[in-house]
Amino acid sequence: MHYPDLTSFLRDGKAALSNGPVGLIMVEDDIEVTSTITHHLNLGFRALVVFAAKDIPQPNDQDSRVHWVFHDMTEDAALERAVNGVIAAAPDTWLYYGYNAEYLHFPFCEDRTIGELLTFHAEERRAAMLTYVIDLYAGDLEQHPSAVAQEDAHLDTTGYYALARWNGTDYEERQLDFFGGLRWRFEEHIPWTRRRIDRIGLFRARQGLELQPDHTFNIAEFNTYACPWHNNLTAAICSFRTAKALKRNPGSRGAIRNFKWRGSTKFDWTSTQLMDLGLIEPGQWF
């Protein structure tokens, strides 16, 4: 299905949002659009809503679960308008949001579906799940100048840390600001407001819930990493997005010859590797 704009989709496409979980894919350019869609369909999402400008090429083999909404992601507040519009249109539906060239991974995702994950999470009385945006980058930038290559993807094994989240008056309960990856190693090229790697990528829509420009929600409990009584599941969004930007932007393009360092390792595209590195948490999940 295709919709000419966000307003049309929210008016006429509610059937696509009625049976979650639903993935919202924000397409900023033409890099790895097909692989992003395929990866998330394979995780078991009931529907994917792809927000993209009209000039973005679309895959030839369209799946009936994929709904295209013409929505220019380069416009100001395009993300918030899309996500908040869907939240208002689909109360109580589990949603995921991410960009093209980003790939959601959760514990044991090779054998368990996104529906099973969220059913378990909901039974633990959780309505949101913390996801870490783990930067991926090509190991050989001469061969892959865009820094994107699934077969040569690398990630950092160290350098991640968290700080207590300060709201200007006090520290937020069970909320942390997480840092690491390329945004930490090349922080001189990235505005300080964009250096965090935490994102509430999975959440259950409810009336009054709104995504804010800093990737937090206006309801504090949705921003917590765990419930008060024990650790909960976390997931990772393995993302080429920062590497793409650093190699595309004139200010950083010439300064970066290689993303690899002593803390790099090749990504094997498994949740086991992410758990072994401590980048995702299975919690009570078995």
What mean pLDDT do residues 241-265 have?
A: 95
* Main-chain phi, psi angles of 188, to 5 degrees: -65, -15
CA distance linking residue 70 with residue 16, whole number of Å = 16
pLDDT value of residue 285: 80
CA distance linking residue 118 with residue 126, whole number of Å = 9
SS3 content of the chain, % helix, strand, coil (to 5): 25, 25, 45
CA distance linking residue 187 with residue 268, whole number of Å = 26
Residues 91-129 have pLDDT tens digits of 999 999 999 999 999 999 999 999 999 999 999 999 999
Report the residue count for the chain. Answer: 286
State the average pLDDT for the chain. 95
CB 141, CB 243: distance < 8 Å:
no
Residues 194-242 have pLDDT tens digits of 999 999 999 999 999 999 999 999 999 999 999 998 889 999 999 999 9
Residues 6-34 have pLDDT tens digits of 999 999 999 999 889 999 999 999 999 99
Q: Is the pLDDT of residue 90 over 90?
A: yes
CA separation (Å) from 188 to 83, 136, 192, 243, 251? 30, 19, 9, 14, 10
Give the pLDDT band (50/70/90) at residue 286.
low
pLDDT value of residue 230: 85
140 Cβ contact list (under 8 Å, min separation 6): 149, 152
What mean pLDDT do residues 147-159 have?
A: 98
Percent of the chain with pLDDT over 70: 100
pLDDT value of residue 283: 84
CA distance linking residue 263 with residue 255, whole number of Å = 20
Q: Is the pLDDT of residue 61 over 80?
A: no
Q: Is the pLDDT of residue 134 over 90?
A: yes
CA distance linking residue 56 with residue 52, whole number of Å = 6
- Domains, in order of start, for the chain: 1-100 (3.40.50), 105-286 (no CATH)
Q: What's the DSSP call for residue 150?
A: G
- The closest alpha carbon to 100, from 68, 140, 145, 124, belongs to 68
Q: Write down the number of H helices and E strands in the chain.
A: 8, 14
285 Cβ contact list (under 8 Å, min separation 6): 107, 108, 117, 120, 233
110 Cβ contact list (under 8 Å, min separation 6): 270, 271
Q: Is the pLDDT of residue 51 over 80?
A: yes
What pTM does this model have?
0.96
